[in-house]
């Protein structure tokens, strides 16, 4: 692209007007034109009415205007669960079209943003989102980039999904408690669990109070598996005692613990196990589940059907200090959808 100055009374009528992009705000023919505006052929006569010199660029062969480039980039990076809106000030937004877990490929995103003039910015990977949520912005920073740059970006994005929303699945959840809480705690606990699981579109198969006996707990885990449970939540127990009946029950059912302890707070005593394909994880206390803990960070992963690995849990350490400033990491259990414009 070639920088040019258009002088009053000397419009570049010899140039192809649809290749001229104004690079500053200007009034043209009584109309306010924002920087980045590409003139159309029928607007050429308006240039004769300029009251001052105006900076612009002349697009050369191989240049792609920012709106055209942004549209192609947005289409390239938008995966399942997203819709594209824009341009708004030459920015395209990717909007969640379903309730689910935002997934971002950080390596692909880095490769894209290393390209000259490319700017793609997202919410953090693994953030729960609702329909209408802006999860990604896509634009090019100059008024045009080369066709070669756009094609390279399209090639990078074609190799793997860059941004997508994994929808939550209507999983069936069984809940086992060994705490024997009083009725007030039990009522709050059951209400909280039902609300949270329902937000994902799941359902609670039932709440089961079991004695602190390994065989009884194991039998209930097996019963829930046979009943079609997709997830089992185990409330209570002494997580620092390797002889706790819940741990013994896991062994009796043939379950394997993926990880004991999470590098996060609150909820560092979290553990996750799998009995075959059935995930089982603990809620440290019935009285705590009404609050947000690491369990609320991991639960959305499982509710998408993901099989969570030990390394995925280990990676929680970066950003695992879940203070008030980290509220965005938790599901917005009281929100079903939003309407965001990107102008906030």
- pLDDT (tens, 9 = 90+) of the chain, 344 residues, equals 899 998 887 665 556 667 889 999 998 878 888 888 898 888 877 777 788 899 999 999 999 999 999 999 999 999 999 999 999 988 999 999 999 999 999 999 999 999 999 999 999 999 999 999 999 999 999 999 999 999 999 999 999 999 999 999 999 999 999 876 566 778 888 999 999 999 999 999 999 999 999 999 999 999 999 999 999 999 988 888 889 999 999 999 999 999 999 999 888 999 999 999 999 999 866 445 557 889 999 999 999 999 999 999 999 999 999 888 888 889 999 999 999 987 65
C-alpha dihedral, 69 to 72 to 78 to 83, nearest 10°: 90
Q: Between β-strands 172-177 and 231-235, what pairing exists: parallel, antiparallel or unpaired? A: parallel
Contact, 72 vs 151, CB < 8 A? no
Radius of gyration of the chain (CA): 27
Predicted pLDDT of residue 13:
52
* DSSP state at residue 75: H
Domain ranges, ordered by start, for the chain: 2-60, 64-166, 172-329
Structure tokens at 9: 């009374």
Structure tokens at 315: 């990676």
d(CA 85, CA 95): 7
Phi, psi of 158 (to 5 degrees): -75, -15
Beta strands in 10-62 (DSSP E): 20-22, 26-28, 31-33, 54-58
d(CA 35, CA 20): 12
Environment class of 217 (CB within 10 Å of its CB; exposed 0-12, middle 13-18, buried 19+): buried
Predicted pLDDT of residue 286:
47
Q: What topology does CATH give the domain 64-166?
A: Aldehyde Oxidoreductase; domain 3 (3.90.1170)
Predicted pLDDT of residue 202:
98
Say how many residues make up the chain.
344
Just give the CATH number of 2-60.
3.90.105
d(CA 56, CA 48): 15
Query: Cβ–Cβ contacts within 10 Å for residue 188, how many?
Result: 15
Contact, 132 vs 339, CB < 8 A? yes
d(CA 246, CA 72): 53
pTM: 0.91
Predicted pLDDT of residue 30:
81
C-alpha dihedral, 219 to 224 to 228 to 230, nearest 10°: -120
Just give the CATH number of 172-329.
3.40.980.10
Structure tokens at 203: 């359902």
Report CA 180 to chain centroid distance, whole Å: 37
């Amino acid at each position: 692209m070639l920088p040019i100055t258009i002088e009053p009374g000397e419009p570049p009528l010899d140039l192809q007007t649809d290749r001229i992009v104004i690079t500053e705000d200007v009034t043209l023919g009584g109309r306010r034109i924002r920087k980045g505006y590409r003139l159309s052929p029928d607007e050429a006569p308006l240039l004769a009415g300029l009251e001052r010199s105006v900076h612009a660029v002349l697009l050369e062969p191989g240049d792609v205007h920012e709106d055209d480039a942004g549209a192609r980039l947005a289409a390239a990076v938008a995966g399942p669960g997203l819709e594209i809106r824009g341009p708004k000030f030459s920015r395209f937004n990717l909007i969640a079209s379903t309730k689910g877990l935002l997934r971002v490929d950080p390596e692909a995103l880095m490769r894209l943003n290393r390209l000259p003039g490319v700017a793609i910015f997202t919410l953090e990977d693994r953030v729960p989102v609702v329909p209408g949520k802006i999860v990604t912005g896509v634009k090019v920073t100059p008024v045009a980039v080369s066709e070669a740059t756009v094609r390279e970006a399209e090639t990078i994005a074609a190799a793997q999904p860059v941004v997508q929303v994994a929808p939550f699945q209507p999983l069936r959840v069984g809940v086992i408690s060994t705490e024997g809480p009083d009725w007030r705690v039990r009522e709050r606990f059951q209400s909280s669990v039902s609300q949270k699981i329902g937000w994902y579109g799941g359902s609670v198969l039932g709440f089961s109070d079991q004695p602190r006996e390994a065989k009884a707990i194991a039998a209930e885990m097996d019963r829930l598996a046979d009943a079609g449970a997709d997830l089992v939540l185990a409330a209570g127990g002494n997580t620092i005692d390797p002889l706790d009946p819940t741990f013994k029950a896991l062994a009796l059912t043939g379950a394997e613990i993926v990880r004991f302890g999470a590098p996060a707070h609150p909820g560092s005593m979290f553990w996750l196990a799998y009995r075959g394909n059935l995930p089982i994880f603990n809620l440290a206390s019935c009285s705590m589940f009404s609050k947000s803990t690491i369990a609320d960070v991991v639960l959305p992963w499982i509710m998408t059907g993901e099989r969570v690995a030990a390394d995925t849990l280990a990676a929680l350490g970066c950003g695992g200090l879940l203070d008030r400033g980290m509220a965005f990491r938790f599901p917005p259990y009281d929100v079903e959808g939003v309407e965001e414009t990107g102008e906030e």
